[in-house]
Amino acid sequence: MSQPLPETTESLRRIWRRRWRRPSWLGVATLIVGLQAWAWLIEPGRLVQRDYVLRLPNWSRACDGLRVDVLADLHTGSPRNGVDNLDRIVRTVARGDADAVLLAGDYVIYRVFLGTYIAPDVVARHLAPLARAKPVYAVLGNHDWWKGGDDMRQVLEAAGITVLQNEAAPARLGRCQVWIAGIGDLWEGAPDIGAAFAGVPPGDPVIALTHNPDLFPQIPHRTALTVAGHTHGGQIRLPLFGRLVVPIESRRYAAGHVIEAGRQLFVSTGIGTSIVPVRLGVPPEISRLTLRTMLTDQAGQVE
Mean pLDDT of all residues in 57-78? 97
d(CA 149, CA 154): 9
d(CA 92, CA 79): 20
Helix (H), strand (E) counts: the chain = 6, 14
- The CA distances from residue 195 to 15, 156, 190, 200, in Å, are 75, 22, 11, 10
Report DSSP state, residue 3: P
Say if residue 48's pLDDT is above 50.
yes
d(CA 93, CA 102): 11
Are 302 and 294 in contact, with CB atoms under 8 Å apart? yes
Going by their DSSP bridges, the two strands 176-182 and 167-173 should be labelled as antiparallel
d(CA 157, CA 245): 33
Helix ranges restricted to H, 59-212: 83-95, 120-133, 142-146, 149-158, 193-197
Q: Percent of the chain, pLDDT > 70?
A: 85
The amino acid sitting at 146 is W
256 - beta bridge partners? 267
Q: Which of 249, 293, 236 is nearest to 54 (CA)?
A: 293
Confidence class for position 42, pLDDT limits 50, 70, 90? confident
Q: H or E stretch including 227?
A: strand 225-228
Question: What pLDDT does residue 7 have?
Answer: 61
Q: What are phi and psi of 5, to 5 degrees?
A: -65, 150
Range 252-256 contact pairs with CB under 8 angstroms and sequence separation of 24 or more: 253/213, 253/214, 253/216, 253/228, 255/231, 255/282, 256/52
Say if residue 301's pLDDT is above 50.
no
Helix ranges restricted to H, 108-257: 120-133, 142-146, 149-158, 193-197
Confidence class for position 269, pLDDT limits 50, 70, 90? very high
Residue 36, number of CB atoms within 10 A of its CB: 12
The amino acid sitting at 292 is R
In order of their start, the domains of the chain are 46-293 (3.60.21.10)
Mean pLDDT of all residues in 243-249? 92
Say if residue 296's pLDDT is above 60.
no
Say if residue 9's pLDDT is above 90.
no
- If 0-12 CB within 10 Å is exposed, 13-18 middle and 19+ buried, where does residue 13 land? exposed
Mean pLDDT of all residues in 171-177? 96
Say if residue 14's pLDDT is above 80.
no
Question: What pLDDT does residue 298 have?
Answer: 38
Q: H or E stretch including 17?
A: helix 6-37
pTM, entire model: 0.88
